[in-house]
Structures are given as C-alpha cells and as structure tokens.
Chains A and B, each alone.
Chain A
C-alpha cells in the first residue's frame, strides 16, 4: 500500500508543469505558473491566490524554494512590513501532491507529501505535510544519496534566506520512518555503502552545522553485508554542508555507546570504535 502511495506521488511530480498562466509579484519574491489560477489583490498588496495544478509556486529568491503542486492550492498574501515592501505569503493549503525543492550549489533537497499547509511571516514559517512524506537529499557530486520517509512531517522553513543558505531548517517526520543512505565514504570508494534504518521518528536538522538526522523509536538498522542491529535507541547521521554523510552514530544509552552486536561487521565496528559508523 505504502509503495503504491509513493508511486502515485512520484507520478504527480513527473507531469510537465503547466505554463498556461503566470503570475509574478512586484519584486519577484512570489511567483507561480499553473494550468489555472488567479489572484484577488487589495491596493495595500494583501490578497489571496488560487491555483490548479500541475503548478509551480516560487517563494523567496534565487530559486531556493520552489514548490510543485499536483492538485490545487490556495493561500493568503499579506501586505509587506513597510508600505513599499512586497507582499509575503501568509498561509496556504495545497493538495494532490506537493514537493518543495531547495536547490543549492552542492546539493538538492526535496521535501514531498500528499498535502501541505503553511503558516508564515517574512521570516519563514511552518510547513505541515501529510503523508506519505519523503525527504530526498542528493549531493550533486553523487557521493551521498539520502531518503527519509514517514507518514507526516512538520518542517521549519525560511524561503527568504540569502543565496546559498538552506531554506529547509528542520523537518520532523513521524510514523513508520525509514532512512536509506547510499554513500561513498572514502575518497577512492567506487561502490556506495548502504544503510537502511527504521524507527518511529526522525529529525532532519540544518539549523546548525553540521547537519544531522536523528532517528529514534524502535530503531532497527541494516546495512551492506551482514549488518543488522536492533536494541538501538538512537541513530544520528551527520552530513556536511555538501550533503555528504560524514558519520553515523548508534547509541542505546546516550551518545557514543555502540550496541550493534548482531553480526560480524558490527562486532568489528564495536571493537574498532565506540559510537562509530558501521558503514
């Protein structure tokens, strides 16, 4: 069932985005292309918008925060902070498949769900996504490919960040969470190492560097070769600014205590380094 939902979601985003109608706010910080759509504006710059997808909605600058919407979306624009400042997106709801793409120089991060609601200010806001929800982060040098999935997510986002800064600050996924990582860890690696972990909650955080993904709740980890670890309380995966995995840490009683003791690979790792990366 879950696979079918994922496939449905994937199909939504493979549609060519319609360009039948195009709206651009006065400073370009709010823009959409859609099959159908419209705005109802007041002279002070506040107003409402409605879209019918497939549609692309862009908030912020430098294409750092683009949204693809498969169904419909509607939202409110509020007048700018000052009389001359542009309108900002106050809130919106979207359904029929929603994907937020944050495109940076060295990595792309896609956050997707079946439907979404957003509440924000000029300093960003909160994006609630209903499932199935996925985060896909791809290091453009192809050294790490990361997927996190869950049933729903709450994300802290700021579409108005300066160029080069991540607009997705944090996302908490809950319900049947799965993390899949393929990573080239050493400079001369040609075949990626894999990590598959399941749990009930994952927190993807880019609030501070280095970025981390923390998985908790009935955690089970499997990896390349014979690795299979249970009895883990927490997995912390660390990513650098380029989106490359630089470390993964398993713990049962607080950070740094490795308890992966199921097979040969994990035994070796436990001897090698407490709290170290098994892949």
Chain B
C-alpha cells in the first residue's frame, strides 16, 4: 500500500490504524496478487483486517480482467468481501454490472451481487 500523506497510529509491531490520502495498493489471496486499487483516500485497520477506500475508488482484478469503480469501498480481508457503495460499476471481460445502491464482490470480482443475494449465493 502506498499513499501521499497519512496519519498512522501504531498499535503494535504488526497492527496499525491509518488514515491516508491518494492511496494505491494491491490485494493478495494465498500470497498471490489478485487485485490493484486506488482511491482519493483510505483508512486501514490491520488488527481488524479492514480497508476502507473513499472517493474515486477503482479496483482492478487481474483474472478475470475486470474493473470496479464506485464512491466508497469497505474491504473485509477475513471474509474476502468488498462492499462497494455509490454509483457502483463493474466492467470486465465477463460482463458488466451496475447499481446506484450497494454491491458486494469477492476480491477477484468473479462474484458480484446485491448484499442480500450475495449471502445466498
């Protein structure tokens, strides 16, 4: 994860809480990079395994090739769950999905659904 400016509070050697501006980074699954992201701002809580991105959020999966854009994202690493809100668009080689509301997705963007339907799938 990279950022231009940030306020970081260290809880321990491995845990931290940080507010960042102009964020870029990547998500990994099983040690393999599966998604790159960028946003105007972000908040990370390492102890909770939560990453929040806000403003011109863009997440780009590598396989399949797909891009999610929205206004706000909360990524729960423990559940491999992206919660995207506000003008959500997912466009890729397997199709396109959009909503004005909320979409949930897996970090590889293969699984995308409204929240109630995501739980059922």
Contacts and interface: CB of A to CB of B under 8 A. Distances in A.
Nearest to B104: A38
Chain A binding site: helix, strand, loop or mixed by DSSP? strand
A39 B64 contact: no
B96 interface: yes
Nearest to B89: A22
A210 interface: no
B94 A41 contact: yes
Contacts of B112: 38-39
A23 interface: yes
A37 B117 contact: yes
Contacts, number: 71
* Chain B: interface size category: 20 to 34
A126 interface: no
A176 interface: no
B114 A37 contact: yes
B114 A39 contact: no
A26 B110 contact: no
A52 B117 contact: yes
A39 B101 contact: no
Interface string B55-76: 0000000011000000000000
B93 interface: yes
Nearest to B119: A38
Interface string A17-59: 0001111111000100000111111110101101110000000
Chain B binding site: helix, strand, loop or mixed by DSSP? mixed
Contacts of B101: 20-21
Interface residues of A, number: 23
A42 B110 contact: yes
Contacts of B96: 23-24
B121 interface: yes
B113 interface: yes
Contacts of A51: 117
Given A20-B99, A21-B99, A50-B120, A40 B64 contact: no
Nearest to A23: B97
Interface in A225-258: none
Given A40-B121, A41-B110, A24 B95 contact: yes
B95 A21 contact: no
B111 A38 contact: yes
B4 interface: no
Given A26-B95, A41-B94, A50-B120, A21 B114 contact: yes
B113 A50 contact: yes
B40 interface: no
A38 B113 contact: yes
Interface in B78-121: 93-101, 103, 110-114, 116-118, 120-121
Nearest to A26: B95
A52 B120 CA distance: 11
A233 B93 CA distance: 55
A39 B113 contact: yes
Nearest to B65: A43
B70 to A, nearest CB: 13
A25 B96 CA distance: 6
B95 A23 contact: yes
Given A24-B95, A24-B96, 13 more contacts: A20-B100, A21-B101, A22-B99, A25-B94, A37-B117, A38-B121, A40-B111, A40-B121, A41-B111, A45-B94, A48-B121, A50-B117, A87-B94
17 contacts: A20-B100, A20-B101, A20-B114, A21-B103, A23-B95, A24-B96, A38-B111, A38-B118, A39-B94, A39-B112, A39-B113, A41-B64, A43-B110, A48-B121, A51-B117, A52-B116, A52-B117
